[in-house]
Amino acid sequence: MKNIHFVFLVSLMVLNSCAYVEPYVQEVNFVSVAQERSLGEQLETQIATEMALVKDPDVLGRVERIGKRLVQGLSRRDFDYRFHVLEDKTPNAFTIPGGVIYVHTGLLRFVSDDDELAGVLGHELGHAYERHPAKAITRMYGIEYLTNLLFKGTQGQVKTLALTLAKGGILSRYSRVDEYRADEVGYILARKAGYDTSGLLRFLRKIQNLERGGVSIPFLNSHPPTPDRIARLESLGRTQPVVL
């Protein structure tokens, strides 16, 4: 027990020390896989209460079919990955802790085909696979808040966190490294599932065209510049295959 306390205190010291440890802090995650599953279930229930979920079996079935096909390519399965569709006009998707992925109806209207949708879903699965949502929450709120939430959190706290996640207020805490890695994982999963690996690339080029036309896309503010993401994805097809 003393050793556990020592590790915890050292971890707190790392989190509160100078900026030179930032690359390490970016990877800090004190949430276990089991705790992340539990937190995800709570948040999923809350989002279903607060947000407009699409129940149309054709719409939901398409997302689930593609998502589950991509999941088969994961080299480990920490979560029971689940997919939902939210009524929202923005061309976005997001992931909450525990491998729960949400797609906006605006995204389904924006993508041209299943390959583009697979690219975006693969990107979100990359975030879930690398446990980026839990890391982002750790960075934003700190250890004490997470500990209280996991073990004695109130419904009000869960509701606040769920809505903050759904509106992108926490997911903006992904680092650029996280975003690049999610793109890589999405590329790998699309390739393994037999989708055209240019799907995400084509999606990003459409986004880039909107940006060049002066259209503001707020949820991309936290992402690396779209041209950088495009260049990195283009390079994946010319270099040695990346792996999970």
Q: Which residues are catalytic?
A: 124
Nearest to 156 by CA among 82, 50, 52, 84: 50
Strand ranges in the chain using DSSP code E only, listed in sequence order: 82-86, 93-96, 100-104
Q: How far apart are CA 48 and CA 2, in angstroms?
A: 42
Q: Are 70 and 124 in contact (CB under 8 A)?
A: no
Q: Which helix (H) or strand (E) holds 175?
A: none
Q: Are 206 and 110 in contact (CB under 8 A)?
A: yes
| Residue 194 backbone zone (phi > 0: left; psi -120 to 50: alpha; other: beta) | left
Please identify which residue in the block is written with the tokens 């793109």: 183
Task: List the structure tokens of 113.
Answer: 């085909």
